[in-house]
Amino acid sequence: DKIKPAPTRPVGPDYRSESQKPAATVSVEVGIETVTVLPQTPQLIALLSIIRDKATDRGDFIFYSNRIIRLLVEEGLNHLPTTEHTVTTPVGRPYDGLSFQGKICGVSIMRAGEAMEQGLRDCCRSVRIGKILIQRDEETAQPKLFYDKLPEDIADRWVLLLDPMFATGGSAIMAVEVLISRGVPEERILFLNLIASPEGIRNFAAKFPKLRVVTAFVDQGLDEKNYIIPGLGDFGDRYYTR
């Protein structure tokens, strides 16, 4: 895969003229119907600028990553089914609204995905959360499933799969295969991540055409060590160690 040029454009609300908006690098467009990229707002770009900065300390990295995670969870929830639901307000009037339908659970890909669990809990009180540990097998260099702990009724739930950095997609593909083997249909899985690579997204969409991905940003590509570029380095190291 060739490294894509960084798309740079004025960022800001529509009512401002182009000359009033500062320019910034925005997400690469992948043009895949199942992939939702968060709106490239000044707020999102400013939050990403903080967590991408190598000079950002751990406290700020955690705080600002958590804000982006919250945006991802809120957007992810928009893709779950709802039904019409009318309520009566305290002034005795009806309001024709919606209610969420269907049970959900989170599944984090350890260790970095665990950083996204609290953001999900903040939006969905007492949500069930499972975990999957996948690591590279030293002998084969392929991803290998080391551990999983999943709700026993996972086949009846919508699954929000959590991993902040979507690089080659190797771990995510294996995690989805585990979920499918436990009876979760592909179309009931939503994969939430902060930064994705175009090649990871394309591999994944070719393999799981019905699975939805919600990401904050698609970056330019991968380097020779499969780090996302420009990326933010090792998410787990920056979130969990100093």
Write the CB contacts of 232 (distance below 8 Å, at least 6 apart in sequence). 51, 52, 165, 195, 238
Q: Is position 234 annotated as part of the catalytic site?
A: yes
What is the pattern of x (binds ligand URA, CB under 6 A) and - over residues 110-129? --x-----------------
Judged on CB neighbours under 10 Å (0-12, 13-18, 19+), 149 is: exposed
Look at the block and give the residue holding tokens 């009846």.
156
User: Which CB, 100 or 227, lies closer to ligand URA?
Assistant: 227
User: Which CB, 82 or 146, lies closer to ligand URA?
Assistant: 146
Told to check if 175 binds ligand URA by CB under 6 A, we report: no
Told to check if 165 binds ligand URA by CB under 6 A, we report: yes
Q: Is position 136 annotated as part of the catalytic site?
A: yes
10 Å Cβ neighbour count for 189? Answer: 22
Count residues contacting ligand URA (CB under 6 A)? 9
10 Å Cβ neighbour count for 196? Answer: 30
* Residue 63, both tokens: 């705080």
Told to check if 228 binds ligand URA by CB under 6 A, we report: yes
Binding residue (CB under 6 A) for ligand URA from 51, 116, 161, 167: 167
Judged on CB neighbours under 10 Å (0-12, 13-18, 19+), 161 is: buried
Name which of 109, 113, 111, 62 is nearest 242 in CA terms.
62
Q: Which of 136, 137, 156, 223 is flagged as catalytic? A: 136
User: Which CB, 151 or 236, lies closer to ligand URA?
Assistant: 236
Told to check if 227 binds ligand URA by CB under 6 A, we report: yes
User: Which CB, 188 or 238, lies closer to ligand URA?
Assistant: 238
- Least distance CB 223 / ligand URA (angstroms): 8
* Residue 124, both tokens: 């969905």
Catalytic residues: 136, 140, 234, 237
Q: Site residues (CB under 6 A) for ligand URA?
A: 112, 165, 167, 227-228, 231, 234-236
